[in-house]
Amino acid sequence: MNAYAGRKVVNLVMMVLCGLAALGALLPLGSVLWLVVSHGVAGLNFTFFTALPKPVGEAGGGVGNAVVGTLQIVALACVIGLPLGVGAGVFLAEKGDSALGNAVRFTAEVLSGVPSIVVGIVAYGLVVVPMKRFSAIAGAVALAILMVPTLARGTEELVRLVPRSIREAALGLGVPEWKTSLRVVLRTALGGVATAALLAIARATGETAPLLFTALNNQYWNVRPDQPTASLTVQIFNYAISPYDDWHQKAWSAALVLLLLVGGLNLTARALTRNRLKGAR
Amino acid sequence: MATHTDKTYEHELQELRDRLLTMGGKVEAAIAASVRSLTERDSELAEHVPVADRDINRLEVEIDDMCRRLLALRQPAASDLRFITTALKIVVDLERMGDLAVNIAERAMDLNQAPQLRPYLDIQKLADLAQGQLKLALDAFVEADVTKAEEVCKSDDLLDALFLKVFNELLALMMEDSKNIRRATSLMFVAKHLERLGDHVVNVGEMVVYMVRGTDIRHPRSRDLAR
Amino acid sequence: MSTPEAKLNVTHLNAGYGDKAIIRDVNIAVPANSVLAVIGPSGCGKSTFLRCLNRMHELGPGAHSEGKILLDGLDINSGDVDPVLLRRRVGMVFQRPNPFPTMSIFDNVAAGLKLNRVKGNHAEVVEKSLKQAALWDEVKDRLNASALSLSGGQQQRLCIARALAIEPEVLLMDEPASALDPIATAKVEQLIHELKARYTIVIVTHNMQQAARVSDHTAFFYMGELVEHDKTETIFTRPSKPRTEDYVTGKFG
């Protein structure tokens, strides 16, 4: 009986330690949420969401254009980066055991380790210099370069997880290989791929450094992709390093908005994916 | 020769074979005893035959059970299937042969109470022929020898011819003197039993051919008519 | 056995992966509207043989095959036959049920039609195929439910319906009932019996009794060679080759 009681005690101790570790892991997340919400909520009002920023000294103003700008840049980045990333992932999963496949995989791994500021400089050289101006599209290219490697690797893993029997079932029906890969295999892996895409998009939405010398910033509304565009992250950066308390407050509030935005993107995409998985027509 | 991977199955088939051979041996002994009880006028020997027949009947039931069990549990195929279905059929003929021996023994007991009608020469010949066929058929089964089995089937005509001769002789005896009728009739029954024995032995031979070759040679004339 | 009405006529078929030959010099003819069972011990090449019949074999790494396979007189191995189109005439059902997991029952059955852009009334074809697969009554009220909500036996019949929807002429079945319980197996076997009237069926099975129940002819493969091919009744009552006799009576190993 003693051994049994001893084991029960050890079990309890271990469970408590695990619980404490879990709490410890949640602590930074908790503190981030707490700080951002408590500091930022004060500055939130309708104007904040919809108005343009005011010059120093003037009260009021908002980050309306930055919100629109972030959405715009990220949307463009998705248009470039999602097909490239998912496409590369599917290629690696289906035909990746070749020399070309290994080369692509290696490139993706290297790229995913490149610091984001370096990617920003690369985009500067690739897009801003030939266009002779800062623009949303340059920012989108920078973000896309950041998205593609992780998306490709993630998609590859997920597509490889699709059982061979599904592929064979489609091939057995007389469906050509490329269509099988895209419309059957990928569709089966879609849930996971959507999550991987979300992670990539969330990362891109939160990037600051690459946008500094590509999209630059803009004090006004802008919907043209070939013009400098405001973004929440750059705006937060500008507000935060300024010497003004008012702007510090705006930085907290903008940070809260960014958090809400990313969270909102997450939840929406999750809800959409769940419906698809249920097989609704 | 390859044996079944499942050793228990192999053992069960062997046991079936042993049972059949035992039964065959007992039938041979019964026929021999019943014929001798007649030709040597030994009624005591004749009394043993029905007693021994109980063993033969018991074996029939046991072998049937074994076959059914094998069919249900083993799903036999090819040669195993042919062997087991052959066993089911042979057992019927063997049991009937045992009954015929009992009938002969009963006739013998009856005949032994009266003086012998005449020397049992032809009856003895008939009996020897029938017993010889039975031995050949059982050997064919044990050795899976198609040649022997086919021989058995062909020589039944000889037996039938000999029976006809005995029949006519006994008929003559009856017409000669009505006091002979009772004994001659009994002897006619004995001859008939021996002739029936021959028919059953032919059945065994035909089944052995099927068991070995997989071709059914029964009723060739009926089959031709159908075609 | 090479008769003019043979639906499939295989001559001198060799197939393997890399420098390893799996099946050697296989010659066999399959009459139309009949069921051929392919039996043999593990690794004898029966699945490889089956997959040659719809050119799925060539999708494996380093796969190669030589020899003629005539489908209604047309050599499917020749260069100008599109394997994709071939597979619409020669359908396949696999060992484990493999419905498309993200699609509904209806979409699964219609998948072959939709992906191959076949025009027409899909709902009609789906109903007809499900009826042929003896599954219609069980699912007609929930065609929108996920395919994964069905039991194993139902899923396999769903896969059969899916294969039938594109109206092939030949149906290849690779151990279709090996993952199913006895009742589901019996239903699939009954199904094969009914389908025979309209399709030519080749079924690979390691269950000899199933081969005996279901097929008209049986082919016995051993170590890559076709040892014997005859009427099923003959193979199971009086096979001519001793190897076949040994396999069928359980004297192998």
Q: What is the pLDDT of residues A174-197, one digit of tens each?
A: 999 999 988 999 889 888 888 888
Q: What is the pLDDT of residues B136-179, one digit of tens each?
A: 999 999 999 999 999 999 889 999 999 999 999 999 999 999 99
Find all residues with CB under 8 Å of B43, minimum gap 6, and list them. Answer: B37, B108, B109, B112, B113
Burial of B179 (0-12, 13-18, 19+ CB in 10 A): exposed
Q: What is the pLDDT of residues C24-60, one digit of tens each?
A: 999 999 999 999 999 999 889 999 999 999 999 998 8
| Contact pairs from chain A to chain C, CB under 8 Å | 82
Does A194 fall in a domain? yes
Q: Which residues of A touch C (CB under 8 A)?
A: 163, 165-166, 168-176, 179, 183-184, 187-188, 190-191, 276-281
Quick one: CA dihedral C202, C203, C209, C210, positive or negative? negative
Give the rounded percent of residues in chain C with a pLDDT score beyond 70: 98
What total number of domains does chain A contain? 1
Contact status, residue C125 vs residue C165, Cβ threshold 8 Å: yes
Burial of A126 (0-12, 13-18, 19+ CB in 10 A): middle
User: What is the identity of the amino acid at B204?
Assistant: V
Mean pLDDT along residues B35-45: 94
Quick one: CA dihedral B212, B215, B218, B220, positive or negative? negative
Question: Which residue of A169, A170, A279 is in closest CB contact with C104?
Answer: A279
In angstroms, the separation between the Cα of residue C211 and the nearest Cα of chain B is 12
Enumerate the residues of chain A whose CB falls inside 8 A of the CB of residue C142. none
Q: In angstroms, rounded to a whole number, what is the distance separating the alpha carbons of residues A227 and A236?
A: 20
Q: Do chains C and A touch (3 or more CB pairs under 8 A)?
A: yes
Residue B2 and residue C246: Cβ atoms within 8 Å?
A: yes
Q: Residue A98: which CATH number? A: 1.10.3720.10
A94, pLDDT greater than 80: yes
B224, pLDDT greater than 70: no
Does A191 fall in a domain? yes
Write out residues 111-170 of C within 8 Å (CB-CB) of A.
Answer: 111-112, 115-116, 144-147, 159, 162-163, 166
pLDDT band per the 50, 70, 90 thresholds, residue A281: very low
Q: In angstroms, rounded to a whole number, what is the distance separating the alpha carbons of residues B110 and B104?
A: 10
Write out residues 24-83 of C within 8 Å (CB-CB) of B.
Answer: none
For residue A160, give its domain range: 69-215+223-232
Enumerate the residues of chain C whose CB falls inside 8 A of the CB of residue A188. 100-102
Across all residues in chain B, what is the average pLDDT?
A: 93
Tokens (6 digits) for B25: 């041996």
Q: In angstroms, rounded to a whole number, what is the distance separating the alpha carbons of residues A252 and A37?
A: 8
Q: Give yes or no for B167 touching C (CB within 8 A).
A: no
Q: In angstroms, rounded to a whole number, what is the distance separating the alpha carbons of residues A217 and A232?
A: 10
Q: Output the pLDDT for position C1.
A: 47
C4, pLDDT greater than 70: no
Residue A172 and residue C94: Cβ atoms within 8 Å?
A: yes
Q: Output the pLDDT for position C253.
A: 58
Alpha-carbon distance values, A6 to A9, A11, A16, A17, A26 (Å): 5, 9, 16, 17, 30
Which of B1, B3, B4 would best serve as a mutation to test chain C binding (most C beta carbons within 10 A)?
Answer: B4
A15, pLDDT greater than 80: yes
Contact status, residue A215 vs residue A49, Cβ threshold 8 Å: no
Give the rounded percent of residues in chain C with a pLDDT score beyond 90: 80
Enumerate the residues of chain C whose CB falls inside 8 A of the CB of residue A174. 84-88, 112, 116, 166
Enumerate the residues of chain B whose CB falls inside 8 A of the CB of residue C252. 5
Residue C98 and residue A173: Cβ atoms within 8 Å?
A: no
Residue C172, strand partner residues: C92, C202
C237 to chain B: closest CA residue? B78
DSSP H or E run through C14: strand C6-17
CB atoms within 10 A of CB B22: 15
Q: Output the pLDDT for position B225.
A: 59
Enumerate the residues of chain B whose CB falls inside 8 A of the CB of residue C248. 77-78
Token pair 């597979």: residue: C87
Does A2 fall in a domain? no
Closest CA to A248 of A259, A240, A236, A256: A240
Write out residues 79-108 of B within 8 Å (CB-CB) of C.
Answer: 79-82
Closest CA to A81 of A137, A143, A138: A143
User: What is the identity of the amino acid at B83?
Assistant: F
Q: Output the pLDDT for position A47.
A: 77
In angstroms, the separation between the Cα of residue C225 and the nearest Cα of chain A is 25
In angstroms, the separation between the Cα of residue A78 and the nearest Cα of chain C is 24
Q: What is the pLDDT of residues C105-117, one digit of tens each?
A: 999 999 999 999 8
Enumerate the residues of chain C whose CB falls inside 8 A of the CB of residue B213. 238
pLDDT band per the 50, 70, 90 thresholds, residue C167: very high
Q: Do chains A and B touch (3 or more CB pairs under 8 A)?
A: no
Does A159 fall in a domain? yes
Q: What is the pLDDT of residues A216-266, one digit of tens each?
A: 888 888 888 888 888 888 888 888 888 888 888 888 888 888 888 888 877
Across all residues in chain A, what is the average pLDDT?
A: 87
pLDDT band per the 50, 70, 90 thresholds, residue C3: low
Find all residues with CB under 8 Å of B143, minimum gap 6, and list them. Answer: none
Residue C238 and residue B3: Cβ atoms within 8 Å?
A: no
Residue C237 and residue B4: Cβ atoms within 8 Å?
A: no
**CATH fold of the domain at B7-220:** Methane Monooxygenase Hydroxylase; Chain G, domain 1 (1.20.58)
Does A87 fall in a domain? yes
Enumerate the residues of chain C whose CB falls inside 8 A of the CB of residue B4. 249-251
Query: Rounded to the nearest 5°, which phi and psi values hold at C11?
Result: -130, 130
Residue C94 and residue A183: Cβ atoms within 8 Å?
A: no
**First CA to last CA distance, chain B:** 39
Contact status, residue A214 vs residue A142, Cβ threshold 8 Å: yes
Q: In angstroms, rounded to a whole number, what is the distance separating the alpha carbons of residues B144 and B210?
A: 10
Residue B5 and residue C253: Cβ atoms within 8 Å?
A: yes
Question: Which residue of C88, C115, C162 is in closest CB contact with A179?
Answer: C115
Enumerate the residues of chain B whose CB falls inside 8 A of the CB of residue C244. 78
Query: Rounded to the nearest 5°, which phi and psi values hold at C79?
Result: -60, -30
B226, pLDDT greater than 60: no
Q: Output the pLDDT for position B194.
A: 95
Gyration radius (Cα) of chain C, Å: 18
Q: In angstroms, rounded to a whole number, what is the distance separating the alpha carbons of residues C139 and C195?
A: 20
Question: Residue C140 gets which letter from DSSP?
Answer: T
Residue A279 and residue C144: Cβ atoms within 8 Å?
A: yes
Q: What is the pLDDT of residues B41-74, one digit of tens each?
A: 999 999 999 999 999 999 999 999 999 999 999 9
Q: Which chains touch B (3 or more CB pairs under 8 A)?
A: C
Is this structure's pTM higher than 0.90? Answer: no
Contact status, residue C206 vs residue C42, Cβ threshold 8 Å: yes
Residue C66, strand partner residues: C14
Q: In angstroms, rounded to a whole number, what is the distance separating the alpha carbons of residues A273 and A258?
A: 23
Query: DSSP 3-state assignment of C181?
Result: coil
A164 to chain C: closest CA residue? C98
Q: Which domains does chain C have, with CATH numbers?
A: 6-96+170-249 (3.40.50.300)
Mean pLDDT along residues B99-108: 96
Question: Residue B180 gets which letter from DSSP?
Answer: G
Closest CA to A128 of A65, A211, A221: A211
B188, pLDDT greater than 70: yes
Q: Which chains touch A (3 or more CB pairs under 8 A)?
A: C
Q: Output the pLDDT for position A89.
A: 93
Q: In angstroms, rounded to a whole number, what is the distance separating the alpha carbons of residues A231 and A142?
A: 14
Residue C94 and residue A163: Cβ atoms within 8 Å?
A: no
In angstroms, the separation between the Cα of residue C12 and the nearest Cα of chain A is 24
Q: Output the pLDDT for position C197.
A: 93
Enumerate the residues of chain C whose CB falls inside 8 A of the CB of residue A176. 84
Quote ipTM for the complex.
Answer: 0.89
Q: Output the pLDDT for position C107.
A: 95
Quick one: CA dihedral A16, A17, A22, A25, positive or negative? positive
Question: Which residue of B2, B75, B82 is in closest CB contact with C237?
Answer: B82
Does A74 fall in a domain? yes
Query: DSSP 3-state assignment of B155?
Result: coil
Tokens (6 digits) for C69: 């396979």
CB atoms within 10 A of CB A2: 6
pLDDT band per the 50, 70, 90 thresholds, residue A280: very low
Residue B123, strand partner residues: none
Q: Output the pLDDT for position B197.
A: 95
Find all residues with CB under 8 Å of B91, minimum gap 6, and list them. Answer: B20, B23, B59, B60, B63, B64, B67
Residues belonging to chain A: 281
Residue C115 and residue A184: Cβ atoms within 8 Å?
A: yes
Q: Which chains touch C (3 or more CB pairs under 8 A)?
A: A, B
Query: DSSP 3-state assignment of B161?
Result: helix
Token pair 């010889």: residue: B132
Tokens (6 digits) for C15: 């197939």
Q: Output the pLDDT for position A248.
A: 86
Q: What is the pLDDT of residues C218-253, one digit of tens each?
A: 999 999 999 999 999 999 999 999 999 999 999 885
Mean pLDDT along residues A64-71: 86
Which of B81, B146, B211 would best serve as a mutation to test chain C binding (most C beta carbons within 10 A)?
Answer: B81
Q: In angstroms, rounded to a whole number, what is the distance separating the alpha carbons of residues C195 and C35?
A: 9
